[in-house]
């Protein structure tokens, strides 16, 4: 998954990790409805 890849890429910076988590949640919220439309 892309999430684990991002986490492994920058494990040292905790602030970047929190930002990544916020962006991933926003991305998931946008991607899920589109994914359901394709299915």
Residue-wise pLDDT tens digits, 1-39: 456 655 566 555 556 556 666 677 777 778 777 777 766
10-36 burial, b at 16+ Cβ within 10 Å, e below that, comes to eeeeeeeeeebeeeeeeeeeeeeeeee
pLDDT of the residue at 17: 55
Backbone angles phi, psi at 30, to 5 degrees: -80, -35
pLDDT of residue 39: 62
Quote the pTM value: 0.29
- Measured in whole angstroms, how far is the alpha carbon of residue 34 from the centre of its chain? 16
pLDDT at 34: 76
């Amino acid at each position: 998954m892309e999430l684990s890849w991002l986490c492994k890429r920058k494990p040292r910076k905790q602030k970047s990790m929190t930002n990544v988590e916020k962006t991933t949640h926003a991305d998931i919220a946008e991607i899920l409805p589109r994914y359901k439309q394709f299915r």
